[in-house]
């Protein structure tokens, strides 16, 4: 009996609250409490006595700084979500195929769905991590990749501007041609592959729709992976661990592996500095 959650257990198996995500529970609690996005809000706690149990409303202290993270199920997005959540931010993560039950399931190509989640949550900050980053998929499905990496990014930037949210767009060092690394912010981009081209076009779409947005060009990432193919640092091990054959690797690429927790910390520091300037 009950779903076993400390704050949101349900007295009947299969009830709506048993099935909904954590983000949906928070949103429903705000609605049932008559709105209000920050501060003290109404939550539900299950109470037990011998022979009976019931749900009871109680005040819940919600952090008043709100951040929305797209791509929260990915290698970087998970770390960004944990970084904000662990530093007194009201964080909501968005995902798609792997979103439930922890995150909001949002199709970023659905402009209405994106509009609704941003208008409902009213974030102060949006970290846009979601992208089609697999070069082989980008090459085989260029239109779909462009829709996600360019069109969806521009739409998120527009929606962020409408609610006054500070947007951080996660881009890539693939916008450069690699002839003269390491690169600085003002170096001229010259992407060589389609993935780099779509991310550069995404940068332009973001800044065209939201001039106050920040763009972070991130190198190759590593961190706590759920699957070895999540990171180019670990994907090679996936190819050789159960295979007696050697794997081909070039000896000329110069890469700068970056720890996802460091990127997440930078995102949070940027957000907090922006909040400090805006509200001081």
Q: What is the pLDDT of residues 111-125, one digit of tens each?
A: 999 999 999 999 999
What span, in angstroms and rounded, lies between the C-alpha atoms of 154 and 177? 24
Same domain for 41 and 77, yes or no, is: no
Measured in Å, how far apart are the chain's first and last C-alpha atoms?
A: 49
> Is 176 inside any structural domain?
yes
Q: Taking the CA atoms of 262, 267, 272 and 273 in sequence, report the sign of the dihedral they define.
A: positive
Rounded to whole angstroms, what are the CA distances from 183 to 55, 216, 222, 231, 254? 56, 12, 20, 21, 12
Residue with tokens 């209405």: 112
Same domain for 98 and 22, yes or no, is: no
Supply the pLDDT for residue 57.
75
Strands 104-105 and 90-95: parallel
What span, in angstroms and rounded, lies between the C-alpha atoms of 151 and 205? 7
Supply the pLDDT for residue 139.
92
Same domain for 237 and 146, yes or no, is: yes
> Is 2 inside any structural domain?
no
Residue 195 annotated as catalytic: yes
Q: How confident is the model at residue 176 (pLDDT cuts 50, 70, 90)?
A: very high
What span, in angstroms and rounded, lies between the C-alpha atoms of 145 and 86? 32
The catalytic position among 81, 169, 174, 195 is: 195
Same domain for 160 and 219, yes or no, is: yes
Supply the pLDDT for residue 42.
56
Which one of 32, 62, 92 terminates a domain?
62
Longest dimension (CA), the chain: 73
Residue 167 near residue 126 (C-beta atoms within 8 A): yes
Number of helices and strands (H, E) in the chain? 10, 10
Q: How confident is the model at residue 180 (pLDDT cuts 50, 70, 90)?
A: confident
Give the CATH number for residue 155.
3.40.50.720
Q: Is the pLDDT of residue 191 over 70?
A: yes
Supply the pLDDT for residue 254.
67
Q: What angle do CA 90, 74, 136 make, to 5 degrees?
A: 150
Lowest mean pLDDT among 27-31, 172-176, 272-276: 27-31
> Is 81 inside any structural domain?
yes
Q: Is the pLDDT of residue 5 over 50?
A: no
Q: Which domain holds residue 195?
A: 66-279
> Is 221 inside any structural domain?
yes
Segment 53-62, tens digit of pLDDT: 888 776 655 6
Q: How much is the average pLDDT of 176-190?
A: 91
Same domain for 54 and 78, yes or no, is: no
């Amino acid at each position: 009996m009950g779903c076993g959650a400390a704050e949101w257990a349900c007295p009947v198996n299969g009830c709506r609250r048993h099935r909904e995500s954590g983000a949906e529970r928070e949103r429903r609690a705000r609605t049932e409490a008559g709105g209000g996005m920050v501060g003290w809000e109404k939550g539900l706690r299950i109470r037990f006595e011998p022979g009976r149990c019931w749900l009871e409303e109680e005040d819940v202290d919600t952090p008043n700084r709100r951040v929305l993270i797209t791509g929260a199920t990915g290698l970087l997005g998970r770390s960004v979500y944990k970084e904000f959540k662990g530093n007194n931010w009201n964080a909501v993560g968005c995902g798609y195929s792997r979103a439930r039950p922890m995150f909001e399931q949002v199709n970023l190509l659905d402009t209405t769905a994106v509009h609704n989640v941003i208008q409902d949550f009213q974030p102060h900050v949006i970290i846009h991590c979601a992208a089609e980053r697999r070069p082989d998929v980008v090459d085989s499905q260029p239109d779909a990749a462009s829709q996600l990496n360019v069109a969806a990014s521009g739409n998120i930037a527009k929606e962020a501007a409408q609610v006054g949210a500070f947007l951080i767009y996660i881009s890539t060092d693939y916008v450069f041609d690699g002839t003269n690394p390491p690169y600085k912010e003002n170096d001229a981009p010259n992407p060589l592959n389609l993935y780099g081209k779509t991310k550069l076009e995404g940068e332009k779409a973001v800044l065209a729709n939201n001039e106050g947005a920040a763009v972070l060009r991130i190198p190759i990432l590593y961190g706590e992976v759920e699957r070895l193919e999540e990171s180019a640092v670990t994907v090679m091990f996936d190819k050789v661990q159960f295979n007696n054959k050697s794997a081909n690797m070039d000896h000329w690429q110069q890469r700068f592996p970056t720890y996802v927790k460091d990127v997440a910390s930078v995102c949070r520091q940027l957000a907090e500095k922006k909040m400090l300037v805006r509200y001081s």
